[in-house]
A and B are shown apart, each in its own frame.
Chain A
Amino acid sequence: MASRKADVTAAAVRRHFPGPLTHEALLGVVVLVELGYFAAAGSNFLSAGNAAEVARASVEIGLLALALTPVIVTGGIDLSVGSLLGLAAVLMGAMYRDLGLPMGAAALVGVLVGVAGGALNALLVTRLGVPPLIATLGTYSLFRGVAEGFTGGVRNYTDFPAGFLFLGQGRLPGGVPAQLPLLLAAAIFFWLLLHRTPAGRGLRAIGFSPDGARYAGIPVARRLALVYVLSGLMAGMGAAVYAARLGQAKADAGTGFELFAITAVVLGGTSIFGGRGSVPGTLLGLLAVALLQNGLRLSDLPAELAGILTGVMLIAAIGAHRVFSERSRG
């Protein structure tokens, strides 16, 4: 959808702003502006305690956003991650409380449920050729529905052992939230996958042109299956962190998480059309939204403003990319 006027404008802008103005750099500036503004306007915004709590609350969404990055890079999407998190959480709770499994085994079951859900998405997309938007729209309802059916909507799994709750509520030496190393490990994994392996390059090729990738010898179906299964795996892991943080597992766990995660990924510079994406960008995008929400709260400003400003940031992000990118896709 190349528009000539926009291209001319883009070229003009590029002439006036020399140097590599990458998307991450711009986002980094936004984060700095937020830090600066809220440090002044909010109470105790820049404290270590606040930083720890913002990090703690962002881990589950962060895991989902990291997994969504390669999915969106391939030109796909996964709307079911929040629902899958809910399903994994209640099944994990049921394993522990109703079947008496030790907590570690129950958490593992939760993770496996995530993997199974991801595998279902993979099957629908690769074997049955269902477009990812629609496949995951269906599983979005299915996973949440099974969680509701299984619990009757009513059952709430609580009373997890203290050791498990430490994962979500505890602090490591130095004040670091206990779940943060998990997010960092996942970030390193996905960064390596997307930016340092041939598989990652293959994902970008698939996003750019699935047929071209196939002709180039990339095993498209296998790569796609991988990213959807990884997405499910992250949902399962997120479920364990969620249940540990809140101390409960109910059928509505993870409601709305998918939108937050997709926002972080797109803000971070990953193109929704596929072919281009960045894990550091996703983390920056997540940080930008989390800081916005937290900063507004600490400045006694209403929660609705966070949503509105996030929407503005999203449009600015894709708008800026349209102007600054070398190659305009459409």
Chain B
Amino acid sequence: MNLRLAFLLALAPLVVTGCQRGAETKGQLTVAMMPKNKGNPYFVSCHKGAQEAAGPLGVKLLWDGPTETDPAKQNEVVEAWITRGVDVIAVSVENKEAISTALRKARGQGIKVVTWDADAEHDARDLFVNQATPEGIADVLLEQTARILGGKGSFAIITASLTAANQNEWIKHIRELLGAKYAGLTLVDVRPSDDDRKRAFDETQTLLKVHPEVKVVMAIASPAIPGAAEAVKQSGRADVKVTGLGLPNASRPYLKDGVLDSVVLWNTMDLGYLTIQVASALAKGTLKPGQTSFTAGRLGPLTVAGDNVLLGQPFTFTKENVDHFDF
């Protein structure tokens, strides 16, 4: 009996001290933003851009998501936000079909839904902040590869994990474009890196030996760029170049070296910044369907194509311009 009383008494102060969650000031918008996974520097830079926008707009920014790429976790986070009650949910979608169920439910409860970086199903969100379509990304990557190979040659892809939805979509479009537009190029193999730099390194090393005809390694996951580039560098194969999708800071040493020819991306901080601008305007009603232009703070006027807010064109980092960026 003493024991039970003791435990109950212990509960009381905990309940009291628990009431210190950051209270929202009245009229403040809450935007809940979710990356594909929190531990990726790509998304860390998007977060920074989002924070930059949130301050001046008076937006309370919630940032949460899976710490590993778990296909089911994003749904649980969205459910929690619906329960908590937020004004806008902004998601970078890992699995289009899975998340759309939860997002539709959110919309049904009056929460505005915005997708960014990767889209959900069209009826599951109000707007998509689009930095590049999957077809567009595939095209730019092949364009770079074709330029390096002189229009004709063999290349290989180092991807994230074999089940990564976005990478798989890019690869699908790459295969389609190979037949249609880049007939001189041959895709020799696709190897996974599982988002591990060492794995990307090992796979590239082996690849170069098994397929000596490969002259371009296309690394389409951010840890894979430094892994593949280091492998090519250590192999001493001056005839092989690396390209792909990655972040400027990780790519800089290899761009300067010449091993890494170019890195395709977009300004991830601007992407985060734009997402919060769009979320805020949507919730306040200043961004309405049918609009064809949207002024997003320091980014100026941007095109709105249907339900896509376009960030701009993918950007190519090279040896010459990479020093202007820090993310």
Q: Which residues of A contact B (CB under 8 A)?
A: 17, 19, 21, 29, 32-33, 36-45, 47, 49-50, 53, 57, 148, 151-154, 156, 158, 169, 242, 245-248, 250-253, 255-256, 293-294, 297-300, 302-304, 307
Contact = CB atoms under 8 A, between A and B. Distances in A.
Interface in B70-100: 70-72, 75-77, 79-85, 95, 97-98, 100
A45 B20 CA distance: 15
A253 B71 contact: yes
Contacts of A255: 68, 70-71
Given A40-B16, A246-B72, A300-B21, 10 more contacts: A53-B79, A148-B162, A154-B171, A250-B95, A251-B162, A252-B71, A297-B64, A297-B77, A298-B83, A303-B77
6 contacts: A33-B11, A153-B163, A248-B71, A250-B95, A255-B70, A303-B77
Nearest to B64: A303
Nearest to B60: A300
B98 A246 contact: yes
Given A42-B21, A42-B84, A303 B163 contact: no
Contacts, number: 127
B12 to A, nearest CB: 9
A169 B99 CA distance: 12
B38 to A, nearest CB: 7
Contacts of A33: 11, 14
The size bracket of the interface on B is 35 or more
Contacts of A245: 72, 75
Contact of B20 (A41, A47, A294): A41
A153 B167 CA distance: 11
B83 A47 contact: yes
A33 B14 CA distance: 8
Interface in B151-207: 161-163, 165, 168, 171-172, 192
Given A41-B18, A41-B20, A153 B162 contact: yes
Contacts of B172: 154
B67 A57 contact: no
B210 interface: no
B215 to A, nearest CB: 25
A32 B15 CA distance: 11
B83 A156 contact: no
A224 B16 CA distance: 49
B296 interface: no
B239 to A, nearest CB: 30
Given A44-B83, A169-B101, A248 B15 contact: no
Contacts of A307: 67
Given A153-B168, A253-B71, A307-B67, A53 B18 contact: no
B7 A29 contact: yes
Nearest to A255: B70
